[in-house]
Amino acid sequence: MIAPSILSADFARLADEVAAVRGAEWLHVDVMDAHFVPNLTIGLPVVEALLGVTDIPLDCHLMIDDPDTWAVRYAKAGAHNVTIHIEAADDPLRIADELRAAGALAGLAIKPKTPLEAYIEVLRHYDTLLVMSVEPGFGGQRFIPEVLDKVRAARRLVDSGELSVLVEIDGGINEETIEQAAEAGVDCFVAGSAVYGADDPATMVAVLRDLAAAAAGRD
């Protein structure tokens, strides 16, 4: 699965930019509050507007200080997957329950330096695991290959039946890095600058998907 990140899209032409990635499995929406991360982006009103112009399921990545209050509102609005950061959550189990009760998938994100092992029990309550492969906050950063150890560990837990999460990776994914991530066991690849920096974003989505499938031995 490929999830283009609209962080790298032209915000003045968002509906057109969403249409430009037709064929993508999910559309990744980076919500930043200038507190959890230094950057400030978009919030609930823009997510609601996007829901009105696309059928692509929205994958909302909340890089915010107070997911305990805000996450469920994205689920109620109609987001398909709502991902919160474990580093910001006070009560991650309650958040997961609320997201699922509102009809969304519950996603848990971990920053590059956050260990996976400490959160295995929490992840039993979640549907998706987002492994950050850059420090959250900005698009266009370099991929941090060391996080692939966490991807491999998560893949083993899923394949052995101990966990049931979709493994997602976010940050620095492009034609050069996607194969190693696919080999490590990623299911869903977020890509911002690689997709929206391409001459034809929809073609780049297909190129990335083919590279990942071939590397994972699923082509």
Verify binding: residue 30, Zn ion, rule CB under 5 A: yes
> Which of ligand DX5, Zn ion, none does 191 bind, CB closer than 5 to 8 A by kind?
ligand DX5
Q: Rounded to whole angstroms, how far apart are CA atoms 174 and 171?
A: 9
Residue closer to ligand DX5 (CB basis): 93 or 215: 215
In 3D space, the residue among 66, 18, 10 whose CA is nearest the CA of residue 43 turns out to be 66
> Which of Zn ion, ligand DX5, none does 172 bind, CB closer than 5 to 8 A by kind?
ligand DX5
> Which of Zn ion, ligand DX5, none does 137 bind, CB closer than 5 to 8 A by kind?
ligand DX5
Is-catalytic flag, 68?
no
For residues 11 and 32, the answer to whether their CB atoms sit within 8 Å is: no
Q: Rounded to whole angstroms, how far apart are CA atoms 92 and 106?
A: 10
Q: Which of 2, 43, 50, 61 binds Zn ion (CB under 5 A)?
A: 61
Q: Which residues of 51-75 are buried (b: 16+ CB within 10 A; e: fewer)?
A: beebebbbbbbbbbbebbebbbbbb
Stretch that binds Zn ion, among 96-104, 141-149, 166-174, 175-183 (CB under 5 A): 166-174
Q: What is the largest CA-CA distance in the chain?
A: 45
Is-catalytic flag, 66?
no
33, 59, 127, 170: the active-site residue: 170
Active site residues: 30, 170
